[in-house]
Homo-oligomer: A and B are copies of this chain.
Amino acid sequence: MKHLLKFIAIVIIIISLLGCLVAILISNVQAEEDEVCRNLLSDSLRDEIASYRNIFNDICEKTTTGSSRGSTFHELSLFIDAFGNRIAGSENLENAIDYLIEKLKTENLENVHAEPVLLQSWVRGKESATLLFPRRQNLPILGLGNSIGTSPDGITAEVLTVQSFDELESRSSEAKGRIVLFAPEYISYGKTVVYRSKAASEASKHGAVAALIRSITPFSILSPHTGMQSYEANVTKIPVAALAVEDAHLIQRIQGRGQRVVVNLKMEAHFGDIKTSRNTIAEIRGSEHPEKVVIISGHLDSWDVGQGAMDDGGGAFISWNALVILKALNLRPRRTIRTILWTAEEFGYVGAKQYYKDHKNETNNWNFIMESDEGTFNPIGLNYVSGDKGSCILKEVVKLFAPLNATSSTKSDSVGSDINLWLDEGIPGAALLQQNEKYFWFHHSQGDTMDVEDPSSLDKNAALWAATAYIIADLKEDFPRD
């Protein structure tokens, strides 16, 4: 007992010393950052931002405890339960867009309309993979977007498993006539997804007849994950599909023992017709500078598996519900807030690219652009792309979010998918910073359902989204680009 107390005392002393050290270090770093922003932000701008505290609190209260509480989840579940997944090119997506346009009109949002987007449709059809040797087992797969199919009998071939493009290069002679399985360890989505986008082309260069990938996810309950891939020009197109992590490991283990692995792969995947889809737009027009715009966005299309509730139902729905909440509070900012619900994001930002082309002349007036496409989990702040002065403004803005414990802000190179076109041009923008560690567990899989979404987190995200857009759209001065 005496020893225990002595031990506790020593631990406490060590903790307290470490605590002091950390506090000193933090306060120094903080002081330097504060110094930079003190030079860049005038006191009046700082005061102006702080003056939005009551407005934020109103938005927050209405959304998280007041009459709008649970509204994003409620509307999203009505939508998801009615339409399910919504692949670009499908009639179902167009029906879902029709439904939403009616909804936005019913909510009395302004300038509600859709803008046409031409796209090359792709159809999955039936698909299956079967382990034939050393024993028979069904291997659940998801073909990758834009993959070609196989003949009705499928492709039967021995599998060559590799961990990397380098390993494939060094075993090139073994790849000819084989199905190449890429089974790299998952490091991060950003680092590992190249094995999805390039698998078919790289395997084809070495004479493979088809490609498989280990699904791009850190966690699996035998759940394959689809996603886009593209064929390089001048490379023979071969079919490509994702295996569940567990089945990739199974094949890897068997092959690691020097045993042959033979798989039959059947896919009906094919390109369909050129189709017309639509970006969906709604606004609250600005009171002083209606031509100046702050954009909040998400995408309405999804993959053809799961329900597209997380990717990107949640992001799309906070983006229009933010307008409804502002409207209900009679908050009309100086500049216009425009909600854009992109189409065909999953096919390579097709809707965004069209919008970029169609609105090229107006972007001088775009102040700020936001997209939520990484889930709508519990938010902790904003992730942004901005110059130094803009960063300082955003740091002042997130201070207002203390009631939601969402005062973090991080500067990034890229914060969206569709909006990168504009970010790359120097228009500043932001995404939600959130506790989305499990995002890729569900991403592009059958597990993307309403169960991933949480009413309270959606409320908080809607409040953050509405407040950020409103404050930036209402500031006396334009949001700085540098």
A residues sitting closer than 8 Å to B (CB atoms) are 1, 4-5, 8-9, 12, 15-16, 19-20, 23-24, 27, 77-78, 81-84, 134-135, 137, 140, 220-223, 245-246, 249-250, 253-254, 257, 306, 441-442, 445-447, 449-451
A81 touches B253 (CB 8 A): yes
CA gap between A24 and B451 in the complex, in Å: 44
Say whether B9 contacts A23, CB under 8 Å. Answer: no
**Could you list 9 examples of A-B contacts with CB < 8 Å?**
A4-B23, A84-B135, A222-B449, A223-B223, A246-B449, A246-B451, A249-B451, A250-B450, A253-B450
Contact A16 B8 (CB under 8 A): yes
Q: Which residues of B contact A246 (CB under 8 A)?
A: 447, 449-451
Taking CB atoms, residues of chain B closer than 8 Å to A135 are 82-84
**Residues of chain B contacted by A450 (CB below 8 angstroms):** 246, 249-250, 253
Interchain CB contact (< 8 A) of A250 among B9, B23, B449? B449
Given contacts A82-B135, A222-B223, 16 further A-B contacts (CB under 8 A): A1-B27, A4-B27, A5-B20, A12-B12, A12-B19, A84-B137, A220-B447, A220-B451, A221-B221, A221-B442, A221-B446, A221-B447, A246-B447, A249-B449, A249-B450, A249-B451
CB distance from A281 to the nearest CB of B (A): 27
* 4 pairs of A and B residues whose beta carbons are closest in the complex: A221-B447, A246-B449, A222-B446, A221-B221
Q: How far is A84 from B250 in the complex, measured between Cα atoms in Å?
A: 10
Instruction: Please name all residues of chain B whose beta carbon is closer than 8 Å to the beta carbon of A16 when the two chains form the complex.
Output: 8-9, 12
Q: Closest CB of chain B to A6's CB: distance in Å?
A: 11
Query: Bound complex: CA of A442 vs CA of B219, how far in Å?
Result: 12
In whole Å, how far is A418's beta carbon from the nearest beta carbon of chain B? 26
In the complex, A450 Cα to B249 Cα: how many Å? 9
Alpha-carbon separation in the docked complex, A430 to B338 (Å): 64
Residues of B within 8 A of A140 (CB): 446
Partner of A23, one of B5, B84, B222, B451: B5
Residues of B within 8 A of A220 (CB): 221, 447, 451
What residues of chain B lie closer than 8 Å to A446, measured between beta carbons? Answer: 140, 221-222
Task: List B contacts of A306 (CB < 8 A).
Answer: 222
Instruction: Identify A8's interface contact among B1, B5, B19, B445, CB under 8 A.
Output: B19
A223: nearest residue on chain B (CB-CB)? B221
Which residues of B sit under 8 angstroms from A249, Cβ to Cβ? 449-451
